[in-house]
Structure 1
Amino acid sequence: MGTYLVKLKPVESFFFGGERVFDFCKENDEPKNNIVKSKEFPQQSSILGMIRKEILVLNQLIKPKWNYTPHEKEKIKELIGEKSFSVKDLNKDFGLIKGISPVFIIKETENNCRFLIKIPKDHNNNKDICKYTPLKFSENKIKSNVNVEEMHFPIDFNAKNGLSEDFLDIETGEILAQDKVFIKDCSIGIKLDDKHQTQNNSLFRLEKYKFNYDRKCERNNKCFGFILNIDETDKNKTFNNYKNIVNLGGEGSYFSISFENIKFDIKDKMKFTSKATNLNEPYCKIILLSDTYISKYDYDQNCIYSISKKVYFRNIASENYNKNKEKGKPYYKRFEKSKNKYSLLEKGSVLFTDKDKYHKLIESINNSNLQKIGYNIFI
């Protein structure tokens, strides 16, 4: 088994799309949506697809028209599995890929790498606080206008400050402000018709991201990263010291990818977790380190309280093994969005429950299919 720290360094600005896309109406009508914003992180399913493709590149098995012999198709199945990721499919096999961690931010220093994640949403977002500090809950239960039951509520939450969007050093618990990590790179334009003529109501705005690199550093010192566990044997080529340029996301987002063989477990570096569970608090707490899928029924039944946000997910599925559609169709046109759209809890969300429901909530989050590629990871 090979374990790699994979680094993704953007060539320029980058764009990770979601459900909200440009939507222009007919002439003289107001546009439905002419502003599209990038997400901060790529989807884990996109990371999986990128790694699957790189395995084929490494083994010289990429053919533009997908015109493979039966023997080559069997080899591809052995290397990366047969089909694309799907939320509902259980025990999915992705060939050599045995595990992908949630994507995080790497801040490189002269001596080592610091790992940054989204700060848990129960952080007390007081600007004077420089380390992760969970909110304190009331000792007595309070009845609100929203809830029919009396509950413990955070007593030091400042609605004016809102929830923090900053980042957390997993070893020190120190906070790095969002604008110290990302910079918005915005552009505006006008949509043209098929005849390259300007249309009415066709002005649009596209918001991408760049990393905010430290000025004192001589090189670009921030990038995306994740841990890859892959089954490497003597008969297969290794990713050790492998480098390439990959396309990830939309709008021409390219990254330099590199693989570094590592021995450490990133979970051992998470020193901030000493504050993740406070035995004096009235609730048991779960911090989501990745976007997480949980059924609405299990969530309603077992989660008493949460500080969370939602993200929407619709995976892209390949048509590679549909014989009626694959003939002569180029590789890059063999993917389409799933018809099913899922609502996920965003990474950094915090779930609260009592001791009686804690294990049931854990069971509803544990999902080997999702956890294999970096969803549903929690502490």
Structure 2
Amino acid sequence: MKTYLVKLTPLEPYFFGNEKTFLFRGEKNQGQRGNSYYIRSERTPLQSTLMGMMRYLLMPYRDHRHYEENAAVIGKESFRIDACDQSFGVIRQLHPLFLMKGDRQYIVTPFDAKPGQETYIPFSDYRVIETDRGEKRYAAEYDAKRGLADSYLCLADGTTVDADQIFGTETRAGNRKSSGSDNSDSFFKKEYGYLKDGFCFAFYADLNDDAAIPENGRTSAFLGQGKSLFSVEFIEENNTVADDAARYIPDDILYCMSDVYCDEAIDDRCLFAVIRDRDYRTYETGRDGRIAKGSTLYKLIKAGSVFLTENQEELSGLLQNADCRKAGFNCIVSGRKTRV
């Protein structure tokens, strides 16, 4: 087995979709902020998107007529988050997405970070409260007006970079075909994303020795709803991201380095948690090459979420999922830094 650093550099603005759909006049807004005809790209691709890209780049034939030959190399089916014992051929495992600038690696800053700091400084002043679910804690230092930190943590020196210094947006107008004489509802805006100042996406991939890496380790791929062009680079090297991250995380914290799928209640197992979520739906490619939208909508715990618990082993075991880990989901890091 060989481990590769895979770097993805967008060569044009990208659009990574989500469950939000366009809303037009007369339709309920459902609490979305801003104009009802506005839709925004996600900042980063999902792990399943990365798995789909890797399967495409490594399959020997680029058409559905050679299904059996391709299946022998990259597996018979697309990744499904609720599936068991899936195999992806020469792809042993993907690891969580992170960002790079030069040789520096950046992960999502844990969500218990105090905003406005140049380094990751977690909440430390907890107040104990009694609830119907037992004893819980809340962070006395949390300021609802400032909200949560939105930044990335540099694994080289522990400094943080605000997300708005990394991600930019570009708004494009479009229109849809109108069935009536009044086409005022036909226009919409899509907010595409791009990376600023030399940043790129990156992840590690464990592959069989016989995996056919692109010539010279370089190729390109189209990703996202707009089929945006990305350059792809494969570099064989060891993966130390999780170990490097653990050096900055307090030893009583579990940190989600990737998005996490968990279908069990975890509230009762936490004293304190800071969680963001994102919608997720699977898409499957049939033998004829057609893509079908899955019927089930899942909620994922977003990368950067943290859990404070008295029983890390029990909670970590609940969040671990070997099948999800194959695509880079459900990577849980136990902190190793002693709280001051």
Flag structure 2 segments of 5+ consecutive residues without an equivalent: 30-35, 334-340
1:277 aligns with 2:250: yes
1:232-271 paired onto structure 2 within 5 Å: 232-233=209-210, 237-239=212-214, 241-270=216-245
2:206 is aligned to 229
TM-score normalised by the chain length of structure 2:
0.89
CA distance in 1, matches of 2:224, 2:234: 20
SS at match of 2:129: coil
1:272-351 paired onto structure 2 within 5 Å: 273-278=246-251, 284-297=252-265, 299-320=266-287, 326=288, 331=289, 334-351=290-307
CA distance in 1, matches of 2:146, 2:184: 40
CA distance in 2, matches of 1:79, 1:245: 20
Cα drift, residue 30 of structure 1: 4.9
Q: For the structure 1 residues 190 and 294, does the alpha-carbon distance in structure 2 shift closer, same or farther, using more than 3 Å as the test?
A: same
CA distance in 1, matches of 2:291, 2:177: 26
Contact 2:158 2:248 in 1 (8 A): no
1:167 is aligned to 152
CA distance in 2, matches of 1:259, 1:186: 31
1:115 is aligned to 105
Contact 1:137 1:152 in 2 (8 A): no
SS at match of 1:370: helix
Residue identity in the other structure for 2:242: K
TM-score normalised by the chain length of structure 1:
0.80
- Rg comparison, structure with higher value: 1
Contact 2:6 2:233 in 1 (8 A): yes
2:84 is aligned to 90
CA distance in 1, matches of 2:28, 2:250: 47
Contact 2:94 2:206 in 1 (8 A): yes
SS at match of 1:201: coil
Contact 1:121 1:164 in 2 (8 A): yes
Q: Which has the higher strand share?
A: 2
Q: For the structure 1 residues 311 and 194, does the alpha-carbon distance in structure 2 shift closer, same or farther, using more than 3 Å as the test?
A: same
Q: For the structure 1 residues 31 and 365, does the alpha-carbon distance in structure 2 shift closer, same or farther, using more than 3 Å as the test?
A: closer
2:183 is aligned to 199
Contact 1:294 1:365 in 2 (8 A): yes
Instruction: Answer with 180-189 or 335-344: which moved more.
Output: 180-189
SS at match of 1:92: coil
Question: Percent identity of the aligned residues?
Answer: 26
Contact 1:141 1:151 in 2 (8 A): yes
Contact 2:133 2:268 in 1 (8 A): no
Q: For the structure 1 residues 301 and 253, does the alpha-carbon distance in structure 2 shift closer, same or farther, using more than 3 Å as the test?
A: same
1:99-138 paired onto structure 2 within 5 Å: 99-108=93-102, 113-125=103-115, 127=116, 129-138=117-126
SS at match of 1:79: helix
1:212 aligns with 2:185: no
- Cα deviation, 1:161-195, whole Å, max 9, x if unaligned, reads 11011111023110111111011111233433379
Cα drift, residue 42 of structure 1: 0.4
CA distance in 2, matches of 1:130, 1:157: 17
How much is the aligned-residue C-alpha RMSD, in angstroms?
2.2
Q: For the structure 1 residues 17 and 153, does the alpha-carbon distance in structure 2 shift closer, same or farther, using more than 3 Å as the test?
A: same
